[in-house]
Structure formats: C-alpha cells, structure tokens
Amino acid sequence: MSRERDERISLMQAVVRYMRATEMTRPGDNVLCALSGGCDSVAMLLLLQKAAGILKIQISAAHVNHRLRGVESDRDEAFCRKLCKRRGISFTSLSGDAKALAQRMGKGVEAAARELRYTLLQEEAARQQALLATAHTSNDHLETMILNLLRGAGSAGLAGIPPKREGIIRPLLALSRNDTKRAVAAFGERYVTDSTNESDAFLRNRVRKTIVPNLLALNPAVLDTALRAGEALRMDASLLAEMAKKQNPFVEHKAPKKTLANLEKPLALRVLSNEAAQLGLELSWEQATALWRLACGQRGGRISLGNGVFFYCRGPMAFFERTAAE
C-alpha cells in the first residue's frame, strides 16, 4: 500500500471510530456536508465519502455563498461545485446577503453570516431529510472553550463544541487541523483559503494564532485533553439541566421564595435561567445570581431584565412578569 492510501485509511478509521462512539449516525441516514471549500470541510467530505459504505450512510454537499468577498466568494462556490462533480457527490449551492441581514438585525457581519449559513444549511438538510455535518476539528473545540472562558460562560459553554446536537453532527472533532491537511493531501485534492481567516479583527483568529500555539507548546496533547474536559463538563451540565427540570418550582412563572432559597445555588441559578429562557431571555451569570440573592432575602424588590421583563419578589412569592417598561 502507498503512504497516501495508508493515510486515507488511518484517518477514515479515526473518523468512523469517533462517529460510532458518539452514535452520530444510523444506517440509512442521509448526511449533508457543509462545504466551504476550506481545508477542514474538504477533508470531511472526502473522509465521509470513503466511510459512507462502512457507516451505511448517503452523503451530499451544500455550499453557502454569503456574497461578502466578491470574486473570492464566487471562486469558492465554483471550487466546491467542481470538487463534488469530480467526486460524484450531489451538490447544492445556497446564497444570501449577510451584510443586509446584519443591518436588519443590528448584528456584526460575522455573526449575521454565521446565522445565515446555519439557517440555509438547516433548511436544506430538512428538505433532504438529512443530518447536517459541519467540519469542526479539535482545534475549533479548544478555540471555542477559550472564547467562552473569556466571555464568562458556565459549564455548558466551557464544554466547547458538542459532537451532535439538534440534527447537527461534527464528525471531525477527534481530528486536528493538521490531520485535515494530511487528509486532503492524501486524497490528492486541494482546498481554498478564506482571506478573512488571517484577519486580527476577529477574536477567534487571534486566539487561533496566539493562545492555541502557546498551549500546544506547554502541552502537545492539549487538543485531546480539551476534548476529554469538554465531555466531562457536558455531562455535568446535562445532569444539572435534568435536575433543574425536575425540581423547577415555577408554575406560570411564579414560585415560592422559600423553595427557591432552599435549592443549592447551582441548581437555583439554572432554574432561574431556564425560566427566563421561556420568556426569550438569556440571563448572564451576574443576572441569575442577582435574582437568586433577591429570592433569598427577607425584603421584596424587583429587577429589570430587559425587553419589558421584570423579576419580582413580593411577600412569599417570586415571579417573572412581562410588563411595560417605565
């Protein structure tokens, strides 16, 4: 066997082992590969095509053109189309105006592009009755953990990228970015480079170029240890979420203060956050803690949570209420 063939088989087997260990797919599943044309997504497409017979799945690909980089965006779309034609893989091209969406939603262009991309891809996956596969690697997982740490996330955020969630699977999480480069080379293919990936204007790029290399220098196995840490944190977060669901004292957004005060703090914070989420709010750690302290106190009061929602403690009861802001 040639070195390239050995490489293809070794990397494909690593992906199959991880997908089976995390129960990503079942025989007969359709899998839509999100194909940007970058190294990671090309590697995923090639490895999943090779693994399709073993896993008994059918694959297709879709590319989203965000219309953000002019000629470069069109180049990427054409590259993906030609790659899929050459490899005999069904291909769908999707497009949208990320800049217009950013202006409409009052968000940054990067955040709007991500939302647009996932919306279009998930709609296409639903149309094809397929799981959506994204090409996140162990490097992406570590970068996400660091970014969420910088933002002050709890255990769910610090757990990084889950292997599967709500119809989305990440087959390459057990591979590094170096592995995906090896895979593309072993298949004799090329990939395109997004010029914005080198821009220091984006925090993720700065984390990728500065923090991650330093962590790898301190511990060459940090990508693997981050995966294990993420799994442990995800299990803890899942258990806490289940406990919060079972012990939630709120009925129609009202609960006895005494019951809330008697909950352990981590459980109480999760209960309060879950209740706020039903009203369309995402509480910060500081907000959830403030609500809990008010519920534990002897005096009444209220806290504004934004969007016309207030948390009140009045008499023996604590409750959320949507009201006109004063």
Task: Provide the pLDDT confidence category of residue 325 given band limits of 50, 70 and 90.
Answer: very low
Q: Is residue 7 part of a domain?
A: yes
Q: Is residue 309 part of a domain?
A: yes
- Do residues 259 and 179 both lie within one domain? no
Task: Provide the pLDDT confidence category of residue 112 given band limits of 50, 70 and 90.
Answer: confident
- Do residues 253 and 191 both lie within one domain? no
Quick: pLDDT tens for 137-161. Answer: 999 999 999 999 998 888 888 999 9
The percent of residues above 70 in pLDDT, for the chain, comes to 99
Two structure tokens written together for 190: 């090329």
- Do residues 50 and 126 both lie within one domain? yes
Q: Euclidean distance between the first and final Cα of the chain, in Å?
A: 75
- Range with lowest mean pLDDT among 12-26, 147-161, 212-226, 248-262: 147-161
What pLDDT is attached to residue 116? 85
Higher pLDDT, 71 or 230: 230
Supply the range of the domain harboring residue 305: 247-322
Q: Provide φ and ψ at 61, rounded to 5°.
A: -135, 150
- Do residues 125 and 21 both lie within one domain? yes
What pLDDT is attached to residue 324? 58
Does the pLDDT of residue 199 top 90, yes or no?
Answer: no
Q: Is residue 205 part of a domain?
A: no
Report which residue type is found at 31: V
Q: What is the CATH number of the domain that holds 181?
A: 3.40.50.620
- Do residues 182 and 276 both lie within one domain? no
Sign of the dihedral through C-alpha 290, 294, 300, 306 = positive
Residues 6+ apart with CB under 8 A from 99: 67, 68, 109, 112
- Count: domains in the chain: 2
Mean pLDDT over 127-137 rounds to 98
- Do residues 92 and 191 both lie within one domain? yes
Mean pLDDT over 190-219 rounds to 89
Q: Is residue 183 part of a domain?
A: yes
- Do residues 62 and 180 both lie within one domain? yes
- Do residues 192 and 116 both lie within one domain? yes
Does the pLDDT of residue 227 top 90, yes or no?
Answer: yes
- Do residues 32 and 180 both lie within one domain? yes
- Do residues 290 and 194 both lie within one domain? no
- Do residues 94 and 22 both lie within one domain? yes
Helix (H) or strand (E) run with residue 125 in it? helix 109-127
Q: Is residue 254 part of a domain?
A: yes
What's the CA gap between 12 and 19, in Å, rounded? 11
Mean pLDDT over 262-270 rounds to 95
Q: Is residue 265 part of a domain?
A: yes
Does the pLDDT of residue 241 top 70, yes or no?
Answer: yes
Q: What is the CATH number of the domain that holds 255?
A: 1.20.59.20
Q: Is residue 220 part of a domain?
A: no
Report which residue type is found at 111: A
Q: Is residue 203 part of a domain?
A: no
When the pLDDT of each residue in the chain is averaged and rounded to a whole number, the result is: 92
Two structure tokens written together for 57: 């799945």
What pLDDT is attached to residue 326? 44
- Do residues 115 and 175 both lie within one domain? yes
What's the CA gap between 123 and 69, in Å, rounded? 23
Does the pLDDT of residue 1 top 60, yes or no?
Answer: no
